[in-house]
Amino acid sequence: MNHIYISSCGVAAMLLSQTALGQAVQPATPTSQVLWYDQPAGNWETEALPIGNGRLGAMLFGAAEKDTVQLNEDSLWLGDEKDTGMYQNLGEFEVALPRAKPVTNYRRELDIGRAVHTVTYTSDGVAFRREALTSYPDQVMVFRYTADQPGSYSGALTFKDGHDAKPVIAPDRLTTAGQLKNGLQYESQIWVMNDGGTLAATPTGIAFQNVNCLTLLVAAGTDYLNQRAKGWRTGEAPHRRVTEQLEQAGKRQYADLLAAHIKDYHALFGRCSLELGSSSDTNRQLSTAKRLTAYRGYVAKTSTETNYNGNSDVPNVAGAPDTELEVLLFQYARYLMISSSRNRLPANLQGLWNNNNNPPWRCDYHSDVNVQMNYWFVDQANLSECFSPLSEWLYSVIPVRRDATKAEFGTKRGWMTRSENGVFGGASYIWVPGDAAWVAQNIWDHYAFTQDKDYLQTRAYPIIKELCEFWEDSLKEGPGGKLVSPESVSPEHGPKAQGNSYEQQLVYDLFTNYIDASLALNVDAEYRQKITALRDRLLGPQIGKWGQLQEWMTDLDDPKEEHRHLSHLIAVHPGRQISPLTTPKFAEAAKVSMNARGDGATGWSRAWKICIWARLQDGNRTHKILNGMLKSQIMPNLFDTHPPFQIDGNFGYAAGVCEMLVQSHMGFIHLLPALPDAWPTGSVKGLRARGGFEVDMAWANGKLTSVTLRSLAGKTCQVRYGGKAVDLTMQPGTVIHLNGDLSRK
């Protein structure tokens, strides 16, 4: 029987009986929107699960005896205008829940369809439940502890600040304020709300005794501001803002907080769905970690495979296809993007989540592929609102980069960056001229998808034009009068040389995007003509002595080189200079280069290979690499590993799936350009195409069966499938339905 009581710490709470809870935690068929586990997390990087609202993030472990939650706030950064600095750990809290009886019916899950983390278990005849979420509307984290019997919670809350600041302890609140060595002020607050029982301050935290229901509200902030003119600071300590956020959330009942959170989140996440056929019932019964083990093609019965309930059985489904797991990883990338990039700073190398004050690669914005890869899929996967943090961050740091470039190289116009970048404009590692043009490619592509003229005029166009001016001043005359880039590197290997393909392809792309942008705004016709003439003089792609697409102007490529970077393939993806449909000889040369690089490498490199082979329209090769990535680079919590953990692989995987299903970079909408044999039947709803279009489609037996096309901006377009093409003129809001042969329904 279920019990309901009115809780003073939030709302009317449904408390499950032990029988109902036992039924609820059985490994019933997981959907493509649930990660679940039969034991707590033991390792932050590989097992803990992330929640976030774009600014606040947490990693959850879920042990019954001790609930550990590690916290992040996206602007907690060291560094300044000279030094990149590094992203910092905010701290972690623990809720100790001592118990003498063993735990049964344990289940830990992350429902990415609702962005809610849940832990359920039974101990000493009591059914316990925890829910955790990070609310964007209310800008707080919420942790809810309930049970099916009153007075079941006794224990203590403690907090360890990431920089050893000491909390101020009140009977119902922990407040911790500190200052980093660069002067950045930060604060976190945890408000403890109880129904029944007692709360008491202790020397180390807050004790609670015989509580029916416990709710923790967590708020945090810094005095960071993304404006150089104001010294990168808001001008006041974060205490007032953090307190107000907490107080406003505390006035609301838990049900209202939960409902507002789910409504807001689902408005983004629910726009895009994907089905690639059904997986076996055997696979569906497995926890996510064991499902991944089965996907990898082996069964490891070790102590690490024993779940929290003492069960070590992993059914032998080795090598069985699991398309629902492939879909789950795609939707997980969308979940991670919504959770780490919303109207604040962009997702960094680890998205939002970091437990280390000296993290790998500074947990920074790496600009020689990684930050670009983070955002390749955002518009395609119908999450355009998640893009603005990238453009706003870039816009904010350009003045610093402009001054640094002038000081280093004496430039009069434009700017460059180094490959490591922070939130105050500081940069480190090596200068790479092409990096800025590559980020600008993302900046243009967002307009191509959204057709947002205000964004184009105020953000994209100024950035792109200034970089065109930089390259107008920087290009050199090379062999045959062709224009080549100055001496530079091809990230992150090989000689330093003039005219490497990395810069040549990016400058071509930059100039092409500028031409399109000036036409869209109907401005700067004279300068547009100049850039068109410069583009026509650029040294183009070269085919080398073993049939490869050259990485350098001189034919230096080693056919045995298997380096992770694919910098000379930018013209294929994410660029639009080389395509099997328009430049077949260069596309074949790109295949030769890709074959030489191999199908392995790090997580993000495999993800880029998925994208490139999709653009080369080889669906089976694309899926082979996708399959290998899941087997080698995806950890039990579905984080991608370089190693170590880097979120660009998660995001790059999603970009690759989008490219397999819909491509629009060549000026038309190409349906199912790289559909593999492994996905003979499926459907997708809500994918975006350039020009302001949204696509739904279904296919069966490897053939397109239906298409629905929506125009968001009112444009003409051409739709292609196989050898067929149809031209459409659509007004804003128009919806057109097509059959598999592209005829009107």
Q: What is the pLDDT of residues 1-36, one digit of tens each?
A: 333 333 444 433 433 333 333 333 333 434 679 999
Q: Reduce the DSSP state of residue 257 to 3 states and report it.
A: helix
pLDDT given for residue 329 in this prediction: 98
Distance CA 610, CA 657 (A): 8
pLDDT given for residue 232 in this prediction: 98
The DSSP H or E segment spanning 644 is none
Q: pLDDT at residue 456 above 90?
A: yes
Q: pLDDT at residue 578 above 70?
A: yes
Q: pLDDT at residue 384 above 70?
A: yes
Cβ contacts of 335 within 8 Å, gap of 6 or more: 112, 115, 269
Residue 184 CA to chain centroid, in angstroms?
26
More confident residue, 300 or 630: 630
Distance CA 132, CA 50 (A): 10
Each as own residue / partner, the long-range contacts of residues 21-24 (CB below 8 Å, 24 or more positions apart, any chain) are 21/105, 21/120, 21/122, 21/127, 21/129, 21/148, 22/105, 22/122, 22/127, 24/107, 24/120
Residues 620, 621, 622, 623: what is their CA dihedral angle, to the nearest 10 degrees?
50
pLDDT band at residue 311, thresholds of 50, 70 and 90? very low
pLDDT given for residue 5 in this prediction: 36
Q: What is the DSSP string of 92-118?
A: EEEEE---SSPEEEEEEEEETTTTEEE
Q: Nearest Cα to 273, choosing from 679, 675, 685, 693?
A: 685
b/e per residue 481-499 (b: at least 16 CB within 10 A): ebbbbeebbbbeebeebbb
Longest dimension (CA), the chain: 84
Q: Is the dihedral of CA 292, 297, 299, 300 positive or negative?
A: negative
pLDDT given for residue 320 in this prediction: 67
The mean pLDDT value for 646-665 works out to 98
Q: pLDDT at residue 573 above 60?
A: yes
pLDDT given for residue 30 in this prediction: 43
Confirm if 243 and 228 have CB atoms less than 8 A apart. no
The mean pLDDT value for 619-638 works out to 97
pLDDT given for residue 25 in this prediction: 36
Q: Nearest Cα to 291, choosing from 655, 38, 651?
A: 38
pLDDT band at residue 405, thresholds of 50, 70 and 90? very high
Map tokens 């403690």 to a residue: 158
Distance CA 552, CA 311 (A): 56
Confirm if 222 and 73 have CB atoms less than 8 A apart. yes
Tens digits of residue pLDDT in 316-359: 445 568 999 999 999 999 999 999 999 889 999 999 999 999 99
pLDDT given for residue 297 in this prediction: 84
Average pLDDT score, the chain: 93
Tens digits of residue pLDDT in 694-738: 999 999 999 999 999 999 999 999 999 999 999 999 999 999 999
pLDDT given for residue 319 in this prediction: 58
Distance CA 416, CA 485 (A): 13
Cβ contacts of 62 within 8 Å, gap of 6 or more: 37, 40, 41, 49, 108, 117, 119, 130
User: 42 exposed, middle or buried (CB, 10 Å; 0-12, 13-18, 19+)?
Assistant: exposed
Q: pLDDT at residue 301 above 80?
A: no
User: 579 exposed, middle or buried (CB, 10 Å; 0-12, 13-18, 19+)?
Assistant: buried
pLDDT given for residue 282 in this prediction: 87
pLDDT band at residue 439, thresholds of 50, 70 and 90? very high
pLDDT given for residue 314 in this prediction: 45
pLDDT cut 90: percent of the chain above it: 90
Q: pLDDT at residue 641 above 70?
A: yes
pLDDT band at residue 133, thresholds of 50, 70 and 90? very high
Tens digits of residue pLDDT in 195-250: 999 999 999 999 999 999 999 999 999 999 999 999 999 999 999 999 999 999 99
pLDDT band at residue 187, thresholds of 50, 70 and 90? very high
| Whole-Å CA distances, 473 to 344, 468, 504, 508, 553 | 34, 9, 15, 15, 20
pLDDT band at residue 62, thresholds of 50, 70 and 90? very high
Start-to-end Cα distance in the chain: 52
Q: Nearest Cα to 696, choosing from 650, 667, 738?
A: 738
The mean pLDDT value for 295-300 works out to 66
Residue 203 in tokens? 């020397």
Cβ count near 263 (within 10 Å): 10
Q: Nearest Cα to 646, choosing from 295, 350, 356?
A: 350
Confirm if 346 and 365 have CB atoms less than 8 A apart. yes
